[in-house]
A and B are shown apart, each in its own frame.
Chain A
Amino acid sequence: MAGFNTKVPVTFDKIQKSFGHVRVLEELNLLVEPGEFLVLLGASGSGKTTALRILSGLETASAGRVLIGERDVTEILPKYRDISMVFQSYALYPHKTVAENIGFPLKVRKVPAAEAESQIREVAAQVQLAELLHRYPRELSGGQRQRVALARAIIRRPSVFLMDEPLSNLDAKLRGHMRAELKHMQQALGITTIYVTHDQIEAMTLAHRVAILERGVLQQLATPAEIYNNPANLFVAQFIGSPPMNVVQGSLEGNRFTTAGASIESPVAGRSDKVILGFRPEDCSIVADGNGAIKGRIYTTELIGDHTLVTVETEQDKLTVKAPKDFAGKQGDATGIALSKDHLYIFDAASGQRLR
């Protein structure tokens, strides 16, 4: 058994996976640092779960290798990989009590009852379940079930933790709470963790690094701040951020980006007929008609709370701008949008790659 505090790296080496003719993963290369909290982020159907299942051994890769630590585990049965996994549905055994659920991994390893008992108590206390040990899963709330699943995963002190959307069945408030708990626990245990989610807030708050997956291709692997500030391509740029980044189609000539009715100074120089300009709603502002780089009419306004989202209709697009909460513009008013040059991104329209 790997020791409790042994931090272990995980490597996906040219992993491919197809189900019949459907290619789900195309040459996935990924190195997870020892003790890292890595979040796999992607839209539904992008292959996140498949990647996780290949690592756990529940699915076999069509090609490529998986390494846990320095061992090639591609051909090794799941139970010898020393990983534990928290499923989205928690996979608690309905006919076993909380204590029996938590203790199951010890039971199959034939740990003596007395020792198992004390470990169960210890772990249960860690996740604040000590009072509930004799209940059945159906008698627990969603958050409590989630903690049972966590406890069952950590009682074995595995080398690697896998979590497949563990919070998606909880309500928003509880999710925020559990997120903090998870982050704390991962920090404390220092176990390499791979966490799958399609929720960008979870990804940004939890991760040391985020890996963004789309159609089985790794789009970017970087820290949350880097992903936000320096998206590698249009997909990542639009995927991260809420509301999503505004995009405007146009052409680039020298230092100027030109689109219908506007010409904007670009952060990069080049020559291309088809490029896309991107800017985040929070990086621009509403200004009086006639000012600003882009002009249009107010399409609608939505008061969110601490700010107002203003949708502006231009000749070809609808753009979103984050405005102060006391914004007073009316639907139909002519208006302008001011951009900040440092926060503009230019992408190649054909490939989606960022031009730098």
Chain B
Amino acid sequence: MSTASEIDGRPGYVPAGSSQSESWGEWIDRHSRTYFIAPAVVLILLFAIFPTFYSIVFALSRVKFTPSGLTFRFVWFQNFVKQFTGTEQAHFLGKLTGMSAAGWVFGLAVAAVTLWWLIRSIRKTTWVGMIGRTISAAAAIGIALLLGATLLSLNPWGTMLTTLFYVVVGCIIQFIIGTGLAFLCSQPITGKSFFRVIFFIPLMITPLGVGYAFKMIFDITKGPFQPFWEFIGLRDWAWSADVWAARWFVVLGDSWQWIPFIFICMLAALENVPKDHVEAAQVDGASSIQIFREIIWPQIVPVAVTVILIRMIEAFKIVDLPNIMTGGGPGIATESMSLHSFYLWRANDYGQSAAVAYLLLILTVVVCASFFNYVVYNQFRKARA
């Protein structure tokens, strides 16, 4: 174009201003792309990614203490194999002897349904999606068979099922109660902010403190409910010796602590529902239950599933509460996988400790990723459509 050269000749014009030599501050500004993100990336690489890889080495080795430090002997997947087959099987998976008919029926029924779902989805997804679905399906079938072999065959559980119990049952209970409380608090009642502050408190208390407080409160002889236990004739009962009671008490403590989290998130979601939608329904004469079901719930589902996902991720890490309330007992009935790994570490068995930790990581990723893909993602797609 000729326009450019036309301008070049124009006299008396001072070009738009900028200093020619770069100052220190400008040099920094020019590299802001890097320094804004580099610290975070470096920290995560150093303290999350690198240790995760390092952990593989532990998990694949037999680690011994020598005067000069740790020595590693590479044993391939022995540490993992042990969890599934050998001496540690009962600890990790549970006792698998004598699977009952009910167990078989349940396990095979779930397997059949899952396989049917898998085959049906072949046409619908890409091969990457298919790999993901196959992994999810395998995990589901494995867990179902394990449930059949232990729960339905009256065999004791291993740490894996206990962890899943905390995650699934804990999340369901916490979500229902937390959402219910949030719904109540979103109603036109006086003293809302009071309840809000009160309900928020448990989240701020150290899990350790929660564990001890509940241990103290549910002490049969010295706790505050002693008169009650005495009244119903459970004076000599020890819940910590009862497998299911102990598990439920751990869930109770966990719920006490985490319901507030669901509560505040869901309350925020509820308050974000446009007022005019609700008012329109009120004018139409809907009851508050109807309004919740028809108007509010569909709008908060995406938030709800996200909150559940977050809660699930944190629930997989549960360690403080069972450690304190029950010490993993009776036997290993309340031992989560984190606690399992922790105890192995305390017994100086670093290799197996790392192996169990890795298995927990795999389980967490498979379950959470499945939940994300089939539930959370779908909800968001629906919400956007």
Contacts and interface: CB of A to CB of B under 8 A. Distances in A.
Interface of A: 1-3, 6, 8-9, 11, 13-14, 29, 31, 34, 65, 67-73, 76, 80-83, 159-160
A81 B15 CA distance: 9
B197 interface: no
Contacts of B17: 1-2, 80, 82
Contacts of A159: 16
B1 A71 contact: no
A11 B16 CA distance: 14
A11 B4 CA distance: 7
Nearest to A13: B1
- Top 5 nearest A-B pairs (CB, nearest first) are A82-B16, A80-B18, A1-B17, A71-B15, A31-B3
A28 to B, nearest CB: 11
Given A76-B18, A80-B18, A13 B13 contact: no
Given A13-B4, A31-B3, A70 B18 contact: no
B232 interface: no
B10 interface: yes
Nearest to A158: B16
A176 B15 CA distance: 35
9 contacts: A2-B16, A9-B7, A11-B3, A11-B4, A13-B4, A14-B1, A29-B1, A67-B7, A71-B16
B2 to A, nearest CB: 10
Contacts of A65: 4
A34 B17 CA distance: 16
A144 B254 CA distance: 55
Contacts of A11: 1, 3-4, 7
Interface string B1-32: 10110111010011111100000000000000
B16 to A, nearest CB: 4
B3 to A, nearest CB: 5
B1 A8 contact: no
A159 B6 CA distance: 18
A160 B13 CA distance: 13
A1 B18 CA distance: 7
Nearest to B19: A80
Interface residues of B, number: 13
Contact of A9 (B1, B10, B14, B18): B10
B262 to A, nearest CB: 32
Given A9-B10, A70-B10, A80 B16 contact: yes
Contacts of B7: 9, 11, 67, 69-70
B336 to A, nearest CB: 46
Nearest to B5: A70
A64 B7 CA distance: 16
Contacts of B13: 6, 8, 34, 69-70
Contacts of B6: 31
B9 to A, nearest CB: 8
Contacts of B10: 9, 34, 69-70
Given A6-B13, A71-B15, A160-B16, 20 more contacts: A1-B17, A2-B15, A3-B14, A6-B14, A8-B13, A9-B10, A13-B3, A13-B4, A29-B3, A31-B6, A65-B4, A69-B7, A69-B14, A70-B8, A70-B10, A70-B13, A70-B15, A72-B4, A76-B18, A80-B18
Nearest to A83: B16
Contact of B16 (A14, A34, A68): A68
Nearest to A72: B4
A162 to B, nearest CB: 13
A34 B16 CA distance: 13
A51 B299 CA distance: 39
Contacts of A69: 7, 10, 13-16
A31 B6 CA distance: 10
A1 B16 CA distance: 6
Query: Taking each of B6, B7, B8, which has the highest tally of chain A beta carbons within 10 Å of its own beta carbon?
Result: B7
A18 B361 CA distance: 44
A70 B12 CA distance: 11
Contacts of A3: 14
B15 to A, nearest CB: 5
Contacts of A72: 4
Nearest to A160: B16
A160 B15 CA distance: 12
B184 to A, nearest CB: 34
A71 B14 CA distance: 10
Contacts of A67: 3-4, 7
